[in-house]
Chain A
Amino acid sequence: MEILNIKDLKISFNTDTGVVEAVNGISLSVGEGESLGLVGETGAGKTTTALGILRLIQCPPGEFVKGEIFYKGQDILKMKDQELRDMRGAEISMIFQDPMSALNPVMTIGEQISEVILHHQKCTKEEAERQMLAMLEQVRIPAERAGEYPYQFSGGMKQRVIIAIALACHPKLLIADEPTTALDVTIQAQVLEMINALKRTNHTSMLLITHDLGVVAESCEKVAIMYAGEIVESGSVADIFDATAHPYTKGLFNSIPSISKKMDRLKPIEGMMPDPGNLPTGCKFHPRCPFASDLETCAAEEPIAYEVTPGHFVRCHRCRSWVEELKVERGVGV
């Protein structure tokens, strides 16, 4: 059963310098207990999508131009304020990027965890405190530290506190917005492991936003690659990692140093991410695409999602013609 279903979502920001199209008609779905990795460069619209799901985008300047976000069949974009507040934290929860600034510096961490529990569950203070201590134990922070302030914790511990807050009310969907970006590598592994373990025990679905393909491989079943506000390629982890189709995704993999292969230089993707206020016509990736010169259609026509193999979608003119040629060849061959 699908828990989250986004259909053709378009979010833009009306700024003084013009309309910035941050999210351009993305569609994605997350099943129950499933993890979807949303991967892309900085500025691809990942965080906007996440905040959009929780309706945390300031309107104005933000605007939900079109599309629907269904959570358990209910359109989030049509919810009233009270319904939204009841949903946030209890049904859909979010882990923020930077643990250093996501905790209130003048409240003890215990108070901050209990606050969410008290807010969503009609229970006594004692009950909330009991649940808070249980939660702290789950993220392996000693209970006696509940009365301490955020500045007394290290970055990794703060992120675990945030995880405890996010999972305190056992949400059905967890949005993790680059939960490990601000942490160093050893702590990253620890935190990821913890998120995965808690996710399994609570049977929570997850939307994991990251720019680290390694993180995705470790903890997701499905992947969506985002570029300039669009999902350019999506599919299972195997589809994306082993049968990479879109030139952008290939570029991403080429930018990762490999231990097994001998390489003199990394091959980064040429050029820069386009300005979301002034996007190129046709395929958004064509100015940087090494294959775009072959086809004039790249600059003129916007590619539509094309199903390469069942469940594996690619938005690329080149891939489409390629695969079709292949099919024709095979058809002739048979």
Chain B
Amino acid sequence: MTQVSTRKISVQSEFVPQKKRQSQFQLKAHRFARNKAAVIALCFIVLLVFCAIFADYISPYDYAAQDLANKLQFPSWRHPFGTDNFGRDILSRIMRGGRISLLVSACAVSISAVAAVIIGSIAGFYGGTVDNVIMRVTDIFMSIPGMLFAMTVSAALGTGIMKTAIALGVCSIAPLVRQIRSSILLLKDQEFIEASKAFGVSNAKIIMKHIIPNTLAPLIVQISLRLGDTIMAISGLSFLGLGIQPPTPEWGNMVSAGKEYLTTFWPMVLFPGLSIMLSMLSFNLLGDGLRDALDPRMKR
């Protein structure tokens, strides 16, 4: 009748030193800080966000200013990342492009997270026919390759920042729904949920106050991993010409513009490519670090 596994966990948890009255947050932050890779990743992300927000003030040149006399310049002190085929400063364009990438991926992930939490909670909590219908629909969505799905949706919606965000958001709903449903299925048979029912708490309140806060940790991890994936997907779409259109700078379309010069002038592909790679890597490392810090089973 008692769940052996959960009991073990909570028994262990009693050995956390009680004299230090650390809040949950402090405890987790402390644990996160010990993961060096994750901290570096977090610093890089903070830098990216800072550049994206203040791109207009801190970038050395106007991202759109053309200077055809100085086109295709290799990196130098004047242009640290060089200039592109229209003589625009690549560093300034990367800073500005980061804004688009981050904004779109934040929007896309918010859309999918909100939708997935609602759909996943309903499926997991109520079970039965509702669950079956929702899960079969997600199965259908998941059987379509992600990139292909994103291309189809954005082809249907058209290009543009908001439309790309919606396209990418919609296609990452299905895997997230699965994630959330599974963590809710685990939770819903726990005794404290039954206890809340025995104390007369309504279903809606149980979902809002007991179930969702308990799924928050895996959800945060998923969100940070998704942010990385989505940056990749935006760049992919833009590279193919389906996402953000030039002249708006975006890492993907910058790589796309530079591919013609790949053999003769590498900075046009290298720097935006590196930005994509590093930001995706950072979000993944951050996600890993968060998972280790937030996992209740890891108490050391």
Contacts and interface: CB of A to CB of B under 8 A. Distances in A.
Contacts, number: 104
A329 B199 CA distance: 54
B199 A102 contact: no
Contacts of B7: 98, 100-101, 182
Given A42-B1, A100-B11, A105 B296 contact: yes
B17 to A, nearest CB: 10
B194 A56 contact: yes
Nearest to B201: A119
B31 interface: no
Contact of A89 (B11, B194, B199, B214): B199
Contacts of B199: 88-89, 93-94, 115-116, 119, 165-166
A327 interface: no
Contacts of B2: 97-98, 100-101, 182
Given A47-B1, A102-B192, A90 B18 contact: no
Interface stretch (A69-77, A145-153, A289-297): A145-153
A84 B201 CA distance: 10
Interface in A122-153: 148-153
Contacts of B197: 54, 56, 88
Nearest to B299: A151
Interface SS, B side: helix
A88 B206 CA distance: 14
A220 interface: no
Interface string A61-98: 00000000000000000000000111111100110111
B188 to A, nearest CB: 11
Contacts of A96: 191, 194-195, 198
B210 A107 contact: yes
A107 B206 CA distance: 12
A144 B196 CA distance: 24
Nearest to B214: A106
A102 B195 contact: yes
Interface string A151-174: 111110000001001100000000
Contact of B214 (A54, A86, A104, A154): A104
A203 interface: no
Given A42-B1, A90-B200, A152 B18 contact: yes
Interface in B1-53: 1-3, 6-7, 10-11, 13-14, 16, 18, 21, 24
Given A88-B200, A104-B192, A104-B210, 13 more contacts: A56-B194, A88-B197, A88-B199, A89-B198, A89-B199, A90-B200, A94-B198, A101-B3, A105-B214, A105-B296, A106-B24, A149-B24, A150-B10
17 contacts: A88-B199, A96-B194, A96-B195, A96-B198, A97-B2, A98-B7, A98-B191, A100-B6, A100-B7, A102-B191, A102-B195, A103-B192, A105-B214, A115-B196, A116-B199, A151-B14, A152-B18
**Closest 5 pairs (CB-CB, A-B):** A89-B199, A88-B200, A89-B200, A151-B13, A101-B191
